[in-house]
Amino acid sequence: MKAYDILLAHQVKPSVQRIAIMEYLMEHKTHPSAEEVYASLSEKMPTLSKTTVYNTLRLFAEHGAALMLTIDDKNVNFDADTSQHAHFLCKTCGKIYDFHTQVGLSKTKELRMEGHEIEETHVYYRGVCKDCLKDKMTN
Ligand SMILES: [Zn+2]
Ligand SMILES: [Zn+2]
């Protein structure tokens, strides 16, 4: 699906800036922060402001067009992959990895806890990634 269609499908009005931000998220599966998105797009779009980028990303998350991750307490990160998946943060390099595993995840739509309706589940793991583990061993 194209960024334009994804925005429409989630009832987000597809403005030029919103499409550019969505495309950036779709092309960069590294879970960028609002600052990263702004830093990359502001070169091409000088009228873009940091606030607009942040508000747009939050809007995407509210409409279910993107995921908002709070795995890193210093940054809020965004993910265009809205399928159920877990995240792993490396405490050494700060990289966020995707885990497409069902461990710890259940179909949230079907889940009702004590009458509450669950809309989102976030599974976060923190540790040291395999690349950093390798560095540690060779040093
Ligand atoms: Zn690492
Ligand atoms: Zn992800």
* Residue-level pLDDT, tens digit, the chain, 139 residues: 899 999 999 999 999 999 999 999 999 999 999 999 999 999 999 999 999 999 999 999 999 999 999 999 888 999 999 988 999 999 999 999 999 876 655 555 566 778 888 778 889 999 999 999 998 887 6
Q: Across-strand partners of 98?
A: 87
How far apart are the CA of 45 and the centre of ligand 1, in A? Answer: 32
| Residue 37 in tokens | 């998105």
> Helix, strand, coil proportions of the chain in percent (round to 5)?
40, 15, 45
Listed in order, the ranges of the chain carrying CATH 1.10.10.10 are 1-82
CATH label, 1-82, candidates 1.10.10.10, 1.10.645.10, 1.10.3720.10, 1.10.10.1100: 1.10.10.10
- pTM, rounded to two decimals: 0.86
Residue range 84-139, CATH number: 3.30.1490.190
Listed in order, the ranges of the chain carrying CATH 3.30.1490.190 are 84-139
Backbone angles phi, psi at 126, to 5 degrees: -125, 145
Instruction: Identify which ligand lies nearest to the alpha carbon of 30.
Output: 2
